[in-house]
Structure formats: C-alpha cells, structure tokens
Amino acid sequence: MSQVTGARLVVDSLKREGVDTVYVLPGDPVGPITIACAKDGMKVIAVRHEQAAAMAAQAHSFLTGRIGVCIAASGVGQTNTLTGIANAYANCWPLLVIGGSSELRRRNMGDFQELPQVEYTSPITKWAYAAEGIQRIPTLINIAINKAITGRPGPVYLDLPAEMISGTVEEEDVVIPPPVPEPARPLADPQKVTQALEVLRNAERPLLIVGKGTASSRAEEELLRFVEETRIPFLTSPMAMGMLPPDHPMNVSAARTQALKGADTILLAGARFNWMFHFGQPPRFAPDFKLVQLDIDPGEIGINKPADVGLVGDAKMVMRQLVEALA
C-alpha cells in the first residue's frame, strides 16, 4: 500500500479543480505545499506580505473568472490575510485561502503561532473550516471551492493543522470527489421580467446602472444588446468599466450626477446602492424614482431603496431574458 502526504493531496486537489496559480508567502507549516506546487509546474507567485497574496489572488479571480488561491503560514501569516479576505467578502469575489496552523496535539499549550484562525476568519467568509483528517483534504477543497463560486461568490477558508500537511495517509483511504461543476446560472421569474419591462417602457427618463455583478457573470454581450435595442442611457460602476464600450453614444458616465438625479426609473444591474451610489437616496437621486433591481442574491433586493421589481438571477441570463422579451 502506498502513502500520500497531505501536501500532495492539496496540490492534486487544486489541479483537479483547474487551479494553475497560487499566491503565497512561503513559511511553516505550508512549505511542503508550495514546494509540491512548484514541482508540479504550477505557477507559484511569492509575495512580501500575506495581505498582498490575498489581494492578488482575488484580482486573479475577478480577471480570469477562475478561483484565486492564496496560501498562508500559521499565526500571523494567516491573520495577515484577513484584510484581503474582508475585501473579497465585500466585493463578492471568489477566493480560497488555505492557512497552515499549529499542531492539534499542542493546542492550548501555547504552541508556536497558535491562534484561533477559523474563529477569526468565519465572520468575513462564506465558509471557514479546519480539516479533521488528512484523508478529508480533497473533499474539503471541493466543498470550499463550491461554496466560493456558487450563488453570490465570496471568500472561503480552509485551515490545515501542521500534521495534516506533512503527515501521510493510505491512498486507498482517500475519497476523490469529482471536480466542482460550473455554478448554476439561475433565471429570473418570467412574470418579474415582464413587469420589469413594463416599468421601463413607462419611464420618461430611464437609466441603466451597470455593476460588477455583470462582470462576474460575463454579461457583456447581453448588456450591449439590451442597450442597443432599448436605447436606454447607462453608466457603470468603477469595477464594471469596460462592460459596455466607453465611447458608446448612450454612455452618460461623464454626466453621472445629472443622470442619477434626473432618472425617473433605474435598472440596477449587478450593483448595490451603497456609498458608491449614495445609497440611492436624495439629493443625489429623485425622491420618487422607480427601481428595477437585478441581483443573484435575493437578500440584496430592496436594500436602502425598495425595489418596484426585483429580478433575482444570474446577470448574464437575466439580461438575456430581458432582451428576448423585448421582441
């Protein structure tokens, strides 16, 4: 019977999920993972601070559409990633952080860099968990990535005690799950689509606000078709720049203040009425404008401004529904 290390299971699991790049500041006890990544031909990008690793990994995710992975050493190495994790959580970017931690057999004994890492990380992740056995590593990485990319994306954290990384287990005891499938792209309620278009048709001064949720969904084509067919003016959030041509005649970003205040109906697509859009409140907005809000997270509908119509679904698919319903 052959033995396999936890580090080897981590690398094989990441590769099985299509990961080819990791961001890391090497250190104990995660050194064997980064060495195995490099030996297997993965791109190992070493940084000078773990916060940079977490930030770079989430940028990788946003730009490539594939989950970014950050690996951190125990204790201060892991806690240095917290700002990056919080940023991914706020921006709804999928991110997998794998953190080494102190040995289980020395917990509560004052072990080197012993900290409650899962407890620190839980409030700013979709899922945070400590591995309880080497043989569980492939399953836990599979669960983590599934959690990160499904629904409203976000960061996840997998804690690996030192003995889970350098220790070994019989290969036959390891369950290898199939790779995580592409996340479902839910459609909006067709009745809501009809209602949304009715509200937009009755508008005198409609406006489309394009947010980064459309970028995560890769909805460029559907957005352009919608704008071309409806001739509704649009502006984009900073993280959605480029989703529509900046030189398009319906782009009113240069007159943002006037466009926001003058709109009597707004289609908010993959954006939020947070500080960036003045919470959807007067005097930046008309006091009685109608709102059609598109978001993959039903919990986002109606925050700070009640929605006249809520479209819950994937931005790409819902924009396609709107375009097709125009015919």
Model pLDDT, residue 30? 96
The CA distance from 42 to 302, in Å, is: 43
User: How wide is the angle at C-alpha 12 spanned by C-alphas 10 and 18, nearest 5°?
Assistant: 105
Average pLDDT over residues 199-204: 98
Average pLDDT over residues 103-125: 85
Model pLDDT, residue 106? 78
Q: At 85, is the pLDDT very low, low, confident or very high (cuts 50, 70, 90)?
A: very high
Q: At 108, is the pLDDT very low, low, confident or very high (cuts 50, 70, 90)?
A: confident
Question: How does pLDDT run across 186-198, given as a tens digit for each residue?
Answer: 999 999 999 999 9
Burial class (CB in 10 A: 0-12, 13-18, 19+), 63: exposed
Q: At 1, is the pLDDT very low, low, confident or very high (cuts 50, 70, 90)?
A: low
The CA distance from 193 to 311, in Å, is: 7
Sorted by where each starts, the structural domains of the chain and their CATH numbers stand as: 3-173 (3.40.50.970), 190-326 (3.40.50.1220)
Q: Which of 127, 125, 143, 130 is nearest to 54 (CA)?
A: 125
User: 297 pLDDT exceeds 90?
Assistant: yes
Cβ neighbours, 10 Å, residue 14: 26
User: 114 pLDDT exceeds 80?
Assistant: no
Question: How does pLDDT run across 141-168, given as a tens digit for each residue?
Answer: 999 999 999 989 999 999 999 999 999 9
Average pLDDT over residues 303-313: 97
Average pLDDT over residues 290-298: 97
User: 110 pLDDT exceeds 90?
Assistant: no
Model pLDDT, residue 112? 72
Count of CA atoms in the C-beta half-sphere (13 A) of 265: 15
The CA distance from 89 to 165, in Å, is: 27
User: 19 pLDDT exceeds 90?
Assistant: yes
Model pLDDT, residue 327? 77
Average pLDDT over residues 54-59: 98
Percent of the chain with pLDDT over 90: 93
Percent of the chain with pLDDT over 70: 99
SS3 14: helix
User: 282 pLDDT exceeds 70?
Assistant: yes
Average pLDDT over residues 60-82: 95
Model pLDDT, residue 109? 66
The CA distance from 142 to 227, in Å, is: 39
Q: At 304, is the pLDDT very low, low, confident or very high (cuts 50, 70, 90)?
A: very high
User: 134 pLDDT exceeds 90?
Assistant: yes
Average pLDDT over residues 50-55: 98
| 269 within 8 A of 210, measured Cβ to Cβ | yes
Average pLDDT over residues 115-138: 96
